[in-house]
């Protein structure tokens, strides 16, 4: 049994002993997944009703939202001081985006630009900032290479950078995957080929801290292209074997996120909720989208994904769309691995209207 699987098993036993907390919280309402012990999560939500016009972000308003959000989240009086409390000027900061859905439905370049400017103002050298995702082609199509050139920072794809043969995820019951070009073992032969998923060298050899910016966007198997799914599936190769099977995905996503070279490097999670798209996944289907004009800040990826699932469900119901029931075992397993809090009753939300007073 892998160390991650052992941890999952021990956490499951702990949950049973303390009183079936996951079952209790799920019974309390849809998309409730419990949490470790008495843990709580803090989420700062910044909203500006005029942050988008016709689904396009207003760059200045988004910058103000990011500045306000990071100051409120850290309690620091200036954006520069707030960012320096999250990362060090000696860090190499990787800004993880979800770019496969493009610049409108995926992570929006305006949000990333606001974060990059904040880091630069905080004193990080431009060469220490990397905008990254799994594939360079997706980054380029979504405008992130152009943005990186404009701001003087780097953009990089995990596939193109390559994978680390010494740093990998090996499931407890390995399933041999169909390897694709770019996977480390593509074209190789042998009894163990295809059993491992190798971590990108971006994480294992360059990036010391990660800021994850995930869109509020549905994903048919995971429910949401959120913090857990975006980082886990973007960080390793040989993932087709998980994406074809919801059961395997539910185990792999939290276990990959729990790798020291992956989840342990996360300094901050931001959910880009300027728009919420409840159908379509990687496709831009704006007739299934709602302009929320919000950004969510938290260190807890499970809490953000739980809120995202609930918000997309609310949007579906409001639109009279057919009911959608994703396999939410990913989030239950993430709670068991103590990656965060999935009980909405234990998620403390501080809501701010940009340009107005203190949190409400």
For residue 282, the 8-state DSSP code is: T
Map residue 227 onto helix, strand or coil: helix
In a domain, residue 360? The reply is no
β-bridge partners, 199: 236
The domain total for the chain is: 1
SS3 184: coil
**358: in domain:** no
pLDDT of the chain, 360 residues: tens digit per residue = 344 444 454 444 344 333 333 333 333 346 666 566 678 999 999 999 999 999 999 999 999 999 999 999 999 999 999 999 999 999 999 999 999 999 999 999 999 999 999 999 999 999 999 999 999 999 999 999 999 999 999 999 999 999 999 999 999 888 888 999 999 999 999 999 999 999 999 999 999 999 999 999 999 999 999 999 999 999 999 999 998 788 999 999 999 999 999 999 999 999 999 999 998 777 778 888 999 999 999 999 999 999 999 999 999 999 998 888 888 899 999 999 999 999 999 999 999 998 554 433
Structural domain of residue 343, as residue ranges? 3-353
Q: Tell me the β-bridge partners of 93.
A: 129, 209
Question: Is residue 328 in a domain?
Answer: yes
Residue 225 CA to residue 330 CA, distance in Å, equals 12
CA dist 151 and 298 (Å) reads 25
Question: What is the C-alpha to C-alpha distance for residues 265 and 203, in angstroms, rounded to an integer?
Answer: 8
pLDDT at 22: 36
d(CA 208, CA 118): 18
The two structure tokens encoding residue 243: 């994406």
Q: What was the pLDDT predicted at 31?
A: 62
Rounded to 5 degrees, φ, ψ at 345 are -65, -20
Instruction: Scan for tokens 């989030």, then name that residue.
Output: 331
Q: Is 359 within a domain?
A: no
Is the separation of the CB atoms in 57 and 110 below 8 Å? yes
Could you give the CA distance from residue 244 to residue 221 in angstroms, rounded to a whole number?
9
| Whether the Cβ atoms of residue 216 and residue 223 lie closer than 8 Å to each other | no
Domain presence at residue 313: yes
Burial of 299 per CB tally in 10 Å (0-12, 13-18, 19+): middle
pTM value is 0.90
User: Which of 311, 315, 214, 291 lies closest to 52 in space, CA to CA?
Assistant: 291
Choose among 284, 317, 255: nearest CA to 106. Answer: 284
Say if 105 falls within a structural domain: yes
Q: How far apart are CA 24 and CA 118, in angstroms?
A: 41
pLDDT, residue 172, reads 86
Per-residue pLDDT, 243: 85
Give me Rg for the CA atoms of the chain. 19
Q: Is residue 191 part of a domain?
A: yes
What angle, 0 to 180 degrees and rounded to 10, lies between the N-to-C axes of helices 3-17 and 329-336?
90
Is residue 86 a part of any domain in this protein?
Answer: yes
- Joined together, the tokens standing for residue 38 give 């008495």
Residues 41-69 as b/e (b if ≥16 CB within 10 A, e otherwise) read bebbbbbbeebbeeeebbeebbbbbbbbb
Q: What pLDDT, on the 0 to 100 scale, is given for residue 355?
A: 55
């Amino acid at each position: 049994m892998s160390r991650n699987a052992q941890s999952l098993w021990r956490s499951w036993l702990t949950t049973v002993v303390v009183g079936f907390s996951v079952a209790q919280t799920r019974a309390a309402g849809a998309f409730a997944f419990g949490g470790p012990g008495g843990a709580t999560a803090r989420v700062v939500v910044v909203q500006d009703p005029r942050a988008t016009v016709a689904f396009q972000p207003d760059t200045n308003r988004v910058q103000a939202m990011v500045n306000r959000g990071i100051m409120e989240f850290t309690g620091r009086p200036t954006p520069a001081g707030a960012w320096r409390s999250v990362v060090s000027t000696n860090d190499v900061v990787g800004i993880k985006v979800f770019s496969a859905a493009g610049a409108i439905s995926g992570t929006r370049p305006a949000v990333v630009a606001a974060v990059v400017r904040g880091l630069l103002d905080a004193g990080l050298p431009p060469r220490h900032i990397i905008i990254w995702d799994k594939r360079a082609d997706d980054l380029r199509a979504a405008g992130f290479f152009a943005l990186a050139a404009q701001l003087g920072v780097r953009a990089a794809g995990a596939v193109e950078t390559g994978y680390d043969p010494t740093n990998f995820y090996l499931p407890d019951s390995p399933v041999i995957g169909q390897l694709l070009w770019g996977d480390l073992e593509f074209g190789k032969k042998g009894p163990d080929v295809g059993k491992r998923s190798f971590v990108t060298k971006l994480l294992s050899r360059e990036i010391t801290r990660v800021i994850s910016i995930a869109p509020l966007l549905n994903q048919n198997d995971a429910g949401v292209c959120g913090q857990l799914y975006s980082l886990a599936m973007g960080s390793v190769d040989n993932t087709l074997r998980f994406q074809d099977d919801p059961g395997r995905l539910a185990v792999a996503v939290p276990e990959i996120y729990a790798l020291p070279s992956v989840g342990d490097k996360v300094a901050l999670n931001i959910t880009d909720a300027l728009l919420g798209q409840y159908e379509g996944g990687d496709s831009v289907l704006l007739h299934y989208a709602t302009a929320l004009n919000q950004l969510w800040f938290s260190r807890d990826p499970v809490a953000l994904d739980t809120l995202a699932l609930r918000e997309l469900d609310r949007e579906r119901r409001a639109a009279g769309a057919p009911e959608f029931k994703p396999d939410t075992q990913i989030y239950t397993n993430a709670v068991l691995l103590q990656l965060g809090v999935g009980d909405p009753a234990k998620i403390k939300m501080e809501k701010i209207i940009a340009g107005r007073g203190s949190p409400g």
